[in-house]
Structure 1
Amino acid sequence: MTKNANFKRRVRARAAKTGESYTAALRQLRGRAADEAAPAVQSIRLAVAQTTSFDNPLDSDGLRRSGAEIRQLMREAQAAGARLVHFAEGATCAPNKRIMSASGPETVGPSDWTRFEWAVLREELEATRRLAGELGIWTVIGSVHQLTEPHRPHNSLYVMSDSGHLVTRYDERMLSNTKISFMYTPGGSPVTFDVDGFRFGCALGMEAHFPEIFIEYERLDVDCVLFSTTDGASPGNRAFAVEVQGHAASHRYWVSLAALARPGSAVPSGIAAPGGQWAACCATDGMPSLAVVDISDDPDDLARPWRRRARTGLYEAHRVADDPRSIARDLF
């Protein structure tokens, strides 16, 4: 892994210095010496989790049970050899819009964020952060992120390193109508981070519906997008699953879908390979579980570089401006 990670860093450094595309820099470095072998396919073990759905942030005992379940799955992921474990949106707590509504539960209105045991949430997140360091496993987990009053919180993904540090946070940008109207403050930026030479991007909530999010991450040269959702799909509605497969196939990168465990859900957690097929999926019985896959980074895959080249004006020199009237003459 180290050799491939170093090579990728050299490619990125050259691209940044010269202004070349990643593909051009890769070609130059590979061809620098005739006897220099191309980097081999490397891999990193990724675990995706599904956890019990919990939506009442006033329930301190429930928050603690949620935290304990997350940490148990972290231990199982580490025992399976995973370097990173990926959890769903709201894995700590996905606040119910009716419980939070100041005018609810009969109607949905602006959320009253005093209805949240923030101190308990912080304790559980701190325990999770410490365990990530003890286990030596990167942990990406969905949680509400409190902002100063009177601002609404973010709906976020926390990224905790294998040394137990909070290294970055992704805030959901493309919020649903209910979220933007009554619940959350939107984020504004994509987020990437590197583990063992593999670059990961983050997406959240309903962002699978927005191709521009995934196109942006392709341009940021990610190897895998970690998409976390509460699911919320009714039985038979597989929109998120199909979209995740499509993004993986279109951009030739891995996509991990982490959803909450719901009986009868159409979208269990799973990991889609660059060809669009599911490499592994969690059980559909609504129980907490893991799916574990070695995701690979094949520098000799020609599809992704070609699609990048195709988007840079490659075809303009080959286009022909023909008189449509000549077609009519030829036909008749």
Structure 2
Amino acid sequence: MTAHRNFKRRVRARAAKTGESYTAALRHFRPTPSGEDMPELTQTVLRIAVAQSTVREDPTDVDGLRASGAEVRRFMKEAADAGARLAHFPEGALCFPNKYVMSELGPDELGPSDWTKAEWSVLQEELDQIATLSGELGIWTVIPSVHQLPDSRPHNSAYVVSDQGKLVARYDERTLSTTKITYMYTPGKKPVTIEIDGYRIGLALGMDVHFPELFTEYDRLDVDGVLVSYSTNGAPGNDRAATEARGHAAANCYWVSLAVAANPDSNIDAGVIDNMGDWIAQGPSDSRPAIAVADLSRDDELPPAARNWRHQARSRITS
């Protein structure tokens, strides 16, 4: 009883200090999904939950789209229960359209995608429910999906929903694969950063993970970390994305969150990488759907001189 009273006292003290409700303050003391206690959040910490979730490949399958949306919302609730301020999902979290499913010559021959086949209204309904839940839970959500364009092929995108349930940003994949740019999507054109609790975060998607210049660009934009949403069907060599993500973190002295598909053939697990390039949290190694939770803390940052030295060296190289 004494321990329980002390626990409730700590929660009430935080609520009084921050102005949060008791329920909101309680999230910061709950254990992670693995059962391990996480430290109480402070102003210098951003707690994130990164998902390895089920990725379905048929945007004409209404039941599949709804199942993906339901899984995303379940993980959002788990993230909120663990005290996370941000839930980060992989490329194709709602659907990662298969090139043969979408081919106007398919299903056996690759050709230009026929996007009229996609269940756009269902995708929008699922996104709307995700946005509403973000507001109810008071967390930010980065959720990739296909973004419809009126007069051209869609973007492969990642939506950013604020803790108020509002769509505040969208990042469009820039470095499309040959298949994506030839048959499926319109490429994006610019980097996107968001601000959460004083942290500046960049966004990357899909093939972007293979291009270090995009991550150097985010370093110039002075981000604290980059959220990388990635998906692979297990093709040989694609598991190097995790190695590259660690390299980007170490080379630029910032954090990287890597959200991936729950695919046992991919040899990649979701996780969070610190600014030294080391994993500090990872999803289950058997690739089952789950979230991993980690704290991004400025207390753990490298001395500013380390990052400044890189900036100065790069300026000399490019001048």
User: Are 1:114 and 2:116 an aligned pair?
Assistant: yes
Please give the per-residue CA displacement for 1:207-229, whole angstroms capped at 9, x wherever unaligned: 11111110100000000100101
Counterpart among 142, 147, 150 of residue 148 in structure 1: 150
Distance across 2 between alignment mates of 1:236 and 1:191: 28
Distance across 2 between alignment mates of 1:104 and 1:253: 43
Distance across 1 between alignment mates of 2:107 and 2:69: 26
The aligned counterpart of 1:271 is 272
- Taking a change above 3 Å as real, the CA distance of residues 42 and 123 of structure 1, as seen in their structure-2 partners, is same
RMSD: 1.8
User: Are 1:204 and 2:202 an aligned pair?
Assistant: no
User: Are 1:127 and 2:129 an aligned pair?
Assistant: yes
- Taking a change above 3 Å as real, the CA distance of residues 41 and 64 of structure 1, as seen in their structure-2 partners, is closer
The aligned counterpart of 1:25 is none
Distance across 1 between alignment mates of 2:313 and 2:44: 26
- After TM superposition, the structure 1 = structure 2 runs for residues 6-45 of structure 1, keeping only pairs within 5 Å, are 42-45=44-47
Distance across 1 between alignment mates of 2:247 and 2:276: 9
- Taking a change above 3 Å as real, the CA distance of residues 126 and 237 of structure 1, as seen in their structure-2 partners, is closer
The aligned counterpart of 1:47 is 49
**Contact persistence 1:41–1:299 (CA under 8 A):** no
Provide the secondary structure at the position in 1 that maps to 2:315. coil
**Contact persistence 1:42–1:296 (CA under 8 A):** yes
**Contact persistence 2:233–2:265 (CA under 8 A):** no
**Contact persistence 2:234–2:263 (CA under 8 A):** no
How far 1:98 sits from its partner (Å)?
0.5
- After TM superposition, the structure 1 = structure 2 runs for residues 23-102 of structure 1, keeping only pairs within 5 Å, are 42-102=44-104
Q: Greater shift after overlay, 261-270 or 76-85? A: 261-270
Provide the secondary structure at the position in 1 that maps to 2:316. coil
How far 1:41 sits from its partner (Å)?
9.1
Please give the per-residue CA displacement for 1:91-136, whole angstroms capped at 9, x wherever unaligned: 0100111000001121111000011010111100000000000000
Q: Which amino acid aligns with 2:190?
A: S
Distance across 2 between alignment mates of 1:299 and 1:259: 27
**Contact persistence 2:253–2:302 (CA under 8 A):** no
Q: Which amino acid aligns with 1:208?
A: V
Structure 1: which 5+ runs fail to align? Answer: 1-39, 317-332
User: Are 1:309 and 2:312 an aligned pair?
Assistant: yes
Q: Greater shift after overlay, 85-94 or 226-235? A: 226-235
The aligned counterpart of 1:161 is 162
How far 1:78 sits from its partner (Å)?
0.4
Q: Greater shift after overlay, 49-58 or 305-314? A: 305-314
**Contact persistence 2:46–2:295 (CA under 8 A):** yes
- Taking a change above 3 Å as real, the CA distance of residues 112 and 276 of structure 1, as seen in their structure-2 partners, is same
- Structure number with greater Rg is 1
**Contact persistence 1:234–1:266 (CA under 8 A):** no
How far 1:305 sits from its partner (Å)?
1.4
How far 1:300 sits from its partner (Å)?
3.5
Structure 2: which 5+ runs fail to align? Answer: 1-41
- After TM superposition, the structure 1 = structure 2 runs for residues 229-308 of structure 1, keeping only pairs within 5 Å, are 229-234=230-235, 238-297=239-298, 298=301, 300-308=303-311
Distance across 2 between alignment mates of 1:165 and 1:235: 39
The aligned counterpart of 1:227 is 228
Q: Which amino acid aligns with 2:316?
A: G
Identity level (%) = 56
**Contact persistence 2:155–2:187 (CA under 8 A):** yes
How far 1:264 sits from its partner (Å)?
3.2
- Taking a change above 3 Å as real, the CA distance of residues 237 and 55 of structure 1, as seen in their structure-2 partners, is closer
- Taking a change above 3 Å as real, the CA distance of residues 237 and 100 of structure 1, as seen in their structure-2 partners, is closer
Distance across 2 between alignment mates of 1:254 and 1:300: 14
The aligned length equals 275
How far 1:302 sits from its partner (Å)?
2.6
Provide the secondary structure at the position in 1 that maps to 2:165. coil
Task: Give the TM-score of the pair, scaled to structure 1.
Answer: 0.80
Distance across 2 between alignment mates of 1:127 and 1:237: 32
Task: Give the TM-score of the pair, scaled to structure 2.
Answer: 0.83
Provide the secondary structure at the position in 2 that maps to 1:290. strand
Distance across 2 between alignment mates of 1:231 and 1:296: 30
